[in-house]
A and B are shown apart, each in its own frame.
Chain A
Amino acid sequence: MDNLIIRHVSRMIIPFIQLYGIFIILHGHISPGGGFPGGAILGASLILYTLSFGVRKGHEKVPHSVSKKVESGAILAYLLIGMVGIWTGHAFLTNQASGFFMGDVGQIISGGFIPLITIALGLKVGSTMITLFHAMIGEEQES
């Protein structure tokens, strides 16, 4: 798919899509949104990059090794955040009682581990989408 118009338009709008995805992930505990939709938007922007610039440049932008590590690291981060509750003597995934920074209502850095879990989920969903897409489109090109 080598089209000049598609390449230029997607080069212009991909930064805004990614900014919107990061906004939704970071504001998951304040405004509507959260880890799953924000990660889906991030993954969709990377899929748009691969569709408009070709599979080779898409693999160069997000290599398979990096997306695999991000995805495994995100779920490990989720588990470690939950382990903090056990370490401080409470149940698994305890928020306020296990000493997370609560802050003020409405700030981005507030709400204990909720922003951390939202960021981990967003990275997980986005890297899952782009890894699956690259695996499938690579398989189609080989045959």
Chain B
Amino acid sequence: MKNFMVMLALGILLAIMISSFMDMPTMGDPDNPSYNEVARHYLEQSLEETYAPNTVTVIISDYRAMDTLGEATVLFASIVAVLTILSGKKVNVPSKEKDWSGKGGDFHG
């Protein structure tokens, strides 16, 4: 009975997904809503606005520079996390009478 309910829920979800997939526009159609005036503006105006012929680099480092700053921040956060985990100093736990109060023991090497 439980399996049947799960299968029924998944089947309804599949039907919803297929029906919404059928309503998507054709891939590569020039009348798609994603080909709007923003892409046209980038392709036509990027040379006058930035003097750089590589439109991809112009988009990622001029028009979307804030997004690239976020990517650099992600790299920074990842390396901080990995270095914190991997190259932390050895923990010197005192052998007798462990001090759990957090004041006396030297837990930072």
Q: Which A residues have a C-beta under 8 Å from some C-beta of B? A: 28-35, 71-72, 74-75, 78-79, 82, 92-93, 95-96, 102-106, 110-114, 117-118, 121, 124-125, 128, 131-132, 135-136, 138-139
Contact = CB atoms under 8 A, between A and B. Distances in A.
Contacts of A33: 54, 57
A71 B61 contact: no
Interface in B75-108: 75-76, 78-79, 82-83, 86-87
Closest 10 A/B residue pairs (Cβ): A111-B52, A29-B52, A93-B65, A102-B51, A117-B61, A135-B86, A34-B57, A139-B86, A29-B57, A111-B51
A38 to B, nearest CB: 11
B83 A135 contact: yes
Interface of B: 47, 49-54, 56-58, 60-62, 65-66, 68-69, 72-73, 75-76, 78-79, 82-83, 86-87
Contacts of A121: 61, 68, 72
Contact of B69 (A72, A82, A104): A82
B79 A31 contact: no
Contact of A103 (B51, B61, B69): B51
A114 B58 contact: yes
A133 to B, nearest CB: 11
Nearest to B66: A93
A105 B65 CA distance: 20
Contacts of B66: 92-93
Contacts of A95: 49-50, 62
Given A34-B57, A128-B79, A79 B52 contact: no
B75 A124 contact: yes
B62 to A, nearest CB: 5
A110 B62 CA distance: 13
Given A82-B69, A118-B57, A139-B86, A110 B75 contact: no
Contacts of B47: 105
Given A71-B76, A75-B72, A114 B61 contact: yes
Contacts of A92: 66
